[in-house]
Chain A
Amino acid sequence: MTQRIVCIIAAAIVLAASAAAQENSTAAIAKAPRATDAHPDLSGIWAYSIDLPGVALKQEVNGSTSIKLIDQSGRRPAKGPVAGALPSTPAPSYKPEFQTKVKYLFDNEAKLDKVFFCGKPGIPRIGSPRQIIQLPKEVIFLYEDISGDPYRVIPTDGRPHRADADPSYYGDSIGHWDGDALVVDSTNFVEDTWFGEGGYFHTAAMHVTERLWRDGDNLVYQYTVDDPNVLTAPWTAPPRVVKPSNDPPEESPVCVEDDSKRMLNLDHHGQR
């Protein structure tokens, strides 16, 4: 009986804490900095959120030892509820006739994933921008990536998608505000990329919708991928919470893949 009371009290505390966290998070969105046009200001440098080794550096200099570890939380789905996030699922749902192909691609990722060979990841695989420059009629995303350092200039002035653009890795993007979230709508992609490491291939019909908003000091990034040719329904991935950073984007050194000829098995590489 005593245990039951303890459990009930614990549950009540958890619920109260959860409600308080939700209120605090909603308040955090409201308190986020605003641009001159009253939209939330997403401008800033955001933490590098591409997979890096999950190891620490132990450095010994003149007899003293230091340990450094990188916070990669922005690379992973948020652990708790995120205010403003859309319902999400861990993985996309492919039509039955394509599931064998997805498994084959995933199983042979070490040979077939072009990102492994310094290829462009495209969106949404490249993840959240390293820097955002928000202007009244356009938003600029800057990235750091081993395939090069792409940028995207995203009009937010209400213009439609370009009709004359060639398909590309990062697509043709236009943005608009949905309440406090910047919504970036992208189409017109090449078919070379996967939208996730799990062999998530797509066709030229892929349509990506990214949502970015502030949660206090942090940036939240969430995306939805639709490709009616291969998916049973649009897939919304779990949100990621990206911390602000004092580490400005830098030009990425050239990428020279020199490992594939030595690989003796198909172990997954866990890139992103």
Chain B
Amino acid sequence: MIFLAAGTAWAHHSPSSIFDMSTKFVLTGTLTQVEWVNPHIAVYIDAKKADGGVENWKFESAPPSWLRRVGVNSADFKKAIGQSVTVEGNRARDGSTYGFLQKITFADGNSLAMVNPNDVNTAH
């Protein structure tokens, strides 16, 4: 998995102004909701905590117009609602349960990831 460097061009805001782009984290939980909105889509995940409780996470990702043009639409995400997914990304620097989704792996093992085009040759 190749992660973006901080400062990679973004369509809305600089990711580093909200997220800790130097540290990645992985979270597994149940996909509960998908918002196909501008300027970024959002996915909601309920993740179990060590104490047995549930933590509600929101992840923003790419703009719908970008996803559409790389061949991904809302159904590709919404079909996984209610299923377990694993996301990789960056946590908001304010410590909230908010993240920047860079990769999502669905229950069937298929995945979508944003990668740096300069690393495409090594990303296969």
Residues of A at the B interface (CB closer than 8 Å) are: 48, 50-62, 65, 67-70, 110, 116, 118, 144, 146, 247, 250, 252-259, 262-271
A65–B13 Cα gap in the complex (Å)? 29
A259 touches B18 (CB 8 A): yes
CA distance A269 to B14 in the complex (A): 5
| Pair A250/B71 contact, Cβ less than 8 Å | no
Which residues from B are CB-within-8-Å of A61?
110
Binds A, one of B25-33, B43-51, B90-98: B90-98
Measured in the bound complex, the distance between the Cα atoms of B35 and A254 in whole Å is: 10
* Contact of A146 with B124 at beta-carbon distance under 8 Å, contacts A70-B70, A250-B68, A259-B18 already known: no
B-side contacts of A58, CB under 8 Å: 2, 111-115, 120, 123
Identify B114's interface contact among A56, A259, A269, A271, CB under 8 A: A56
* B120 and A116 contact, CB distance less than 8 A: no
Q: Is the interface of A mostly helix, strand, loop or mixed?
A: loop
B16 (CB) vs chain A CBs: closest residue? A267
Contact across chains for A258 and B60 when beta carbons are under 8 A apart = yes
Q: When the two chains form their complex, are residues A53 and B111 in contact, meaning their CB atoms are under 8 A apart?
A: no
Interface residues on B, range: 35 or more
Residue of A nearest to B64 (CB): A253
Name the A residues within 8 Å of B109 (CB-CB): 60
What are 22 A-B residue pairs whose CB atoms fall within 8 Å in the complex? A55-B114, A55-B115, A55-B116, A56-B123, A57-B72, A58-B120, A59-B70, A59-B72, A116-B13, A118-B38, A253-B64, A256-B37, A259-B18, A259-B40, A262-B96, A263-B13, A264-B18, A264-B93, A267-B16, A269-B11, A269-B14, A271-B12
Contact of A57 among B8, B14, B65, B113 (CB under 8 A): B113
Chain B residue at minimal CB-CB distance from A272:
B11
Contact status B8-A267, CB under 8 Å: no
For B92, give the chain A residue with the smallest CB separation. Answer: A262
Which of A60, A256, A269 is within 8 Å of B38, CB to CB? A256
Closest approach, in angstroms, between the C-beta of A241 and any C-beta of chain B? 19
Assess the A262–B114 pair: CB atoms within 8 A: no
Interchain CA distance A180-B79 in the complex, whole Å = 50
Partner of A146, one of B17, B63, B71: B63
